[in-house]
A and B are shown apart, each in its own frame.
Chain A
Amino acid sequence: MANLDLLQGTLDLLVLKTLSWAPMHGYSVARHIRERSQDVFLIEEGALYPALHRLERRGWIESEWGVSENNRKAKFYQLTTQGRAQLHAEVATWERYTRAVAGVLQPA
């Protein structure tokens, strides 16, 4: 199966969802998305960082420096209250979107 390009907006959604499980650093987020999506998306891991910083600027996630499992200094992100609300909204939008597309694609 060919790898698909991922839209920026969708990436934001995935990041938010990922962080809703638990606070984690950028690498974990990348790995999580990769595993959960079974590597379908063609995503350069570096693209995550602009996304993360953008989300932080919008106030949906916040960050703090800490120490990782492998004893390195890492920046951890977590969802804010607004972020959680934003996540709910975006998920709802996504589901409406996919339902609509699916509806059109339905055989007769």
Chain B
Amino acid sequence: MSRIPGLKRFFRLERPSDIDQEIQFHIETRVDDLVRRGMDPDQARREAYRAFGDLKRYHDETLTIDREFAREVRMKEFFASVWSDLGYALRGLRRSPVFTVVAILTLTLGIGATVAVFSAVSGVILRPLPFVQADRIVHLGERDLAQGGRGGTTSAENTYDWQRMNRSFQAMSLYSTFSMTLTGAGTPTRIDVTNVTPGTFDVFHVTPLLGRPIAPTDTMQGAGNVALLSYDFWRAKLGADPNVVGKPLQLNFNKFEIIGVLPEGFHGPGDLDRPLWTNFVNDTSDGRAGRSKNVYALLKPGVTVQQAQLDMTRIAKQLEATYPRYNKNMTVAVSPLADVVFGDVERPLYLLLGASALVLLIACANISNLLVARGIARGREVAMRAALGAGRGRITRQLLTESFVLSAVGSACGIALAYAALHTMTALGPSVFAMRPPEIDVRVLVFTLVLSVASTVLFGLIPAMRMTRTALYETLRESGRIVGQGGRRTRGVLALAQLALAVVLLASSALVIKSFARVLRVEPGVRTENMLYADVWLPRLRYDSAKSVAFYTELERRLAATPGVLHVGFTSQVPFSGYLDRVGVSKFGGRPEVQGNDAPEGDRYVVTPAYFKTMAIQLVRGRVLSPEDRYENGPVAVIDEEFARRAFPGQDPIGQTMKLPIRSEFATIVGVVRHVKTYGLDASSPGQIYTTNAQYPWRWLSVVVHTSGDAALFAPTLARVVQSVDPDEPISNVSTMEVALDNLLKARRFALTLLGAFAGVAIVLAAIGLYGVIAYGVTQRRRELGVRVALGAQSTEIARMVVAEGVRIAILGAILGGIGAIATGRLMASLLFEVNPRDPVVLAGVSVGLVAVALIASLIPARKAMRIDATEILRGD
């Protein structure tokens, strides 16, 4: 009996017939034994089977055992080979550190950027709005026929007619917004309130958590004041008191009864998302022209937005005919809720999507490039392994493992980058992000991962795929010479594509940067540094006209005497902070009355005379308002250049008169001042009309303080001084002009940062791609270059050849990219400010930059080429 050799036996799969044989042997030997002892052969056989037992059962049992055993062994073998492949892959990657780092970096950037941006966009735009039947809710906005857009507010009168005449809506919501003072619960605070109609609860499907919604009886004249609390307000300020229904609330010193609490997590769109909802009382004092109401409506089942639009256009026309004075040239726009919520953010976000898709493309192209080059360079190694007996499957698996390791590490880093990027975007980005912080979208993640991994794996397999038998032989024989020119062309094309895409991104971001710089250079028209402002609004119950004037005068006096204050003034609107008070002037002295909507519009500012000095608004003609302009004297006004241009074209406005709201006497224009860009440096604004609060009493003024030091630090002092005049008077909405201006620029700055980041990534990737092409080109042409050197070529000449190739590709890429950039420039027009999308300076600059980068990228391989030792090459290797 031979000694049993090693482990190999264990790995042999036991076939069923082996077990049969073993069992058969047992039976036969038993039979032999029994026969030898004298038993009859037939009897012996019977006895042998009997003694053996249930043959089939034992056979099957043994077979099962063997099968499981074999399976175990196969698993172990598999894992062992996978482990060895992993080791091989890691060693291989470690031997080419540059390639590994670059590949991982490329994957990280490509995956990270794409996942982050796509997640952000899909999170913001593609997530359904958190309202029941959100796609059936529309916004009804009144707008001028000449203008486009979603329209804005309308008057209550109009909405009553809309409700009466429409055929498309099953519910309508009307609301207007106020700021009121909440007293009786600690320090007086300013609180934002929305007046809503009962229809609001139907449109947005809101059922109060506690209490009841606003009922039609609450909207009738003489109805008591009622209020519903938002969930967050109820929890924060009233401690989630379950018995809050029926308790009183004091707003602007009027008594309100709490009738309910809104459900948790309900945030109405825009201004409906406020701490308090109060009842909208039918009140026609504003008239049909008092356009301060917002309207949302719920479509009837089966009615489309287009049908509703047609319906409303019809109604608008009828109203225009019935009330030509107020509704001339006005129509109604019906817009889906999503448009209203996301409208402003959509465009830039889609652009970002485009940019990140480009980056992903570049990244994939880069990876492919790198892998193809590497694969070809390793052709020899692969051929060697094949010659030594490695099966084609095994080699393929080894190459796959390497690709997988790259993909895995790159993907992990990419996901981490995406996470970080999303956090940064939430912090820096427009407010829409703050509302619902975007998270990593799983679908996007999966898609991006699949794409990157697929391209990694695919191009990593190229060496294996090139392995035909003849190629094998050739490879070994050619000792170092790389098989096939085809790979080179592919790589060149890929590098070209990357460069072109990089140019597009670079040009786009350059344009955006230029726009931003232009915006920053615009003169706002007012002083913005060290300017603190705050609302100091007076409640009607305690302040009549005379008292309010006295209050503001006294407050101004005290503040002016406070150390740290250089100038102080009051105004009804603070520029850049989102205030809006616009009037249309239809009655001018010495002219026929201008029809309703032809009246030139201006933003109405009720100010104290010190406002002009405080804001450093320049005087152009005449004089600014003065303390001498008291109520008893004839009312006067100061207008800005813009309003002067539109209301008094070609005339001198000084001495002209016009009628302004709340007084019947006409105001005389006494001065013209510089225009102020109140809606932001890049937005247009109609003119400004200034009157003094002494002549046009106004209870809702904001104080503006020019401080000698940091404006923000003055806030507590401001509060103190205000309360020294009236301890019950809160100040609210405290901020500095710088912050306000900054906020307006936020969206632009965000787009700039992101595009810039993308462009940076793109150019880095493109440079790497180019380097790869040139470097491997050099390796490939070693023999040729060696021959040239032997024939007398100078090393500088060699270097020049190499660099020239790089520059050639770069120029071609720049041209292609330039064409692409011009095409996309048009798409970007909305983001640009006074910058031509086809700006030749930008395009030229970017192209030159690209060529410069290409030069640098080519220098390293060029240097390597210069050091080629001709003798070494010719000696053969």
| Contact with B62, one of A44, A49, A72 (Cβ below 8 angstroms) | A49
Whether B632 sits at the interface, judged by CB under 8 Å, is: no
30 contacts between A and B (CB under 8 A): A23-B1, A26-B22, A26-B26, A27-B25, A44-B52, A45-B30, A45-B51, A46-B54, A46-B58, A46-B59, A49-B19, A49-B26, A49-B61, A50-B61, A53-B14, A53-B65, A53-B69, A54-B65, A57-B69, A64-B4, A66-B2, A68-B25, A70-B32, A72-B28, A73-B21, A73-B25, A75-B22, A76-B1, A76-B4, A78-B4
B450 nearest CB across to chain A (Å) = 41
Q: What's the count of A-B pairs with C-beta under 8 Å? A: 87
Within residues 3 to 27 of chain A, which ones have a CB less than 8 A from any CB in chain B?
23, 25-27
**Cross-chain contact of B65 among A46, A57, A68, A74 (Cβ < 8 A):** A57
User: Which residues of the other chain, A, contact B30 by a CB distance below 8 angstroms?
Assistant: 27, 45
Q: Are A30 and B61 in contact (CB under 8 A)?
A: no
Measured CB to CB, the nearest residue on chain A to B61 is A50
Nearest-CB residue, chain B, relative to A69: B29
User: A53 near B26 (CB under 8 angstroms)?
Assistant: no
A46 to chain B, nearest CB (A): 3
Point out residues on A near B: beta carbons under 8 Å.
23, 25-27, 30, 44-47, 49-50, 53-54, 56-57, 59, 62-64, 66, 68, 70, 72-76, 78
Q: Which of B2, B9, B57, B66 contacts A53 (CB 8 A)?
A: B66
Q: Does B68 contact A (CB under 8 A)?
A: yes
Contacts A50-B62, A78-B4; A45 near B25 (Cβ below 8 A): no
Alpha-carbon distance between A44 and B62 when the two chains are bound, in angstroms: 14
| A47 with B53: CB separation less than 8 A | yes
B53 contact from A26, A27, A44, Cβ within 8 A:
A44
**Contact A45/B52 with A25-B25, A73-B25 known, Cβ cut-off 8 Å:** yes
Chain A residues contacting B1 (CB-CB under 8 Å) are 23, 66, 76
A residues within 8 A CB of B59?
46, 49
Measured between beta carbons, the chain B residues less than 8 angstroms from A62 are: 4, 9-10
Contact with A along B778-821 (1 / 0, CB 8 A): 00000000000000000000000000000000000000000000
Known: A45-B53, A46-B54, A75-B22. Is A63-B9 also a contact (CB below 8 A)? Answer: yes
Residues of A within 8 A of B54 (CB): 44, 46
Interface centre among A26, A53, A57, A68 (most CB of B within 10 A): A53
B4 and A27 within 8 A (CB): no
Within 8 A of A (CB), among B549-581: none
Q: How far is the CA of A30 from the CA of B4 in the complex (A)?
A: 21
Cα distance, A54 to B29, chains bound together (Å): 23
> Are B68 and A57 in touch, CB under 8 angstroms?
yes
Q: Assess A47 versus B22: contact at CB under 8 Å? Given A27-B29, A27-B30.
A: no
Which chain B residue shows the least CB distance to A55?
Answer: B65
Chain A residues with CB under 8 Å of B55's CB are 46
| Residues of chain A within 8 A of B9, CB atoms compared | 62-64
Interface centre among A26, A27, A66 (most CB of B within 10 A): A27
Could you say which residues of chain B place their CB within 8 Å of the CB of A68? 25, 29
Bound state CA distance, A59 and B72, in angstroms?
A: 12
B860 within 8 Å of A by Cβ? Answer: no
The reply to whether A63 and B28 form a contact with Cβ atoms under 8 Å apart is no
Which 6 interchain pairs have the tightest Cβ spacing? A44-B53, A46-B58, A46-B53, A57-B69, A50-B61, A64-B4
The distance in angstroms between the C-alpha atoms of A40 and B381, with both chains bound, is: 67
Nearest A residue (CB) for B19: A49
Chain A residues in 8 Å Cβ range of B28:
72
Contact of A46 among B18, B57, B72 (CB under 8 A): B57
Given A53-B66, A64-B4, 19 other A-B contacts at CB below 8 A? A23-B1, A26-B25, A44-B52, A44-B53, A46-B23, A46-B53, A47-B58, A49-B61, A49-B62, A57-B72, A59-B10, A62-B9, A64-B2, A64-B5, A70-B29, A70-B32, A75-B21, A76-B1, A78-B4
Measured between beta carbons, the chain B residues less than 8 angstroms from A47 are 53, 58
> Which residue of chain B has its CB nearest to the CB of A58?
B69
- Complex Cα–Cα for A100 and B10 (A): 38
| Residues of chain B lying within 8 A (CB to CB) of residue A72 | 25, 28-29
How far is it, in angstroms, between the C-alpha of A44 and the C-alpha of B49 when the chains are bound? 10
Q: A50 to chain B: which residues have CB within 8 Å?
A: 58, 61-62, 65
Considering the chains assembled together, what is the distance between the CA atoms of A3 and B243 in angstroms?
Answer: 84
Q: How far is the CA of A45 from the CA of B54 in the complex (A)?
A: 9
Bound-state CA distance A5–B622 (Å) is 123
CA distance A44 to B61 in the complex (A): 14
Task: Report the separation of the CA atoms of residues A57 and B28 in the bound assembly, to the nearest whole angstrom.
Answer: 26
Most A CB within 10 A of own CB, among B1, B19, B62, B69: B1
- Pick from B2, B28, B29, B58 the residue with the most CB of A within 10 Å: B29
**Within B54-110, which residues are at the interface with A (CB < 8 Å)?**
54-55, 57-59, 61-62, 65-66, 68-69, 72
Interfacial chain A residues near B69, Cβ < 8 Å: 53, 56-57
A47 to B69, CA, bound (A): 18
Q: What is the CB-to-nearest-CB distance from B824 to chain A, in angstroms, rounded to a whole number?
A: 67
Set of chain A residues within 8 Å of B25, measured between Cβ atoms: 25-27, 68, 72-75
Specify the chain A residue showing the minimal Cβ separation from B57: A46
| Residues of B close to A49: CB separation below 8 A | 19, 22-23, 26, 58-59, 61-62
Q: Decide if B26 touches A27 in the complex (CB within 8 Å).
A: yes
A74, B26: Cα distance in complex, Å = 9
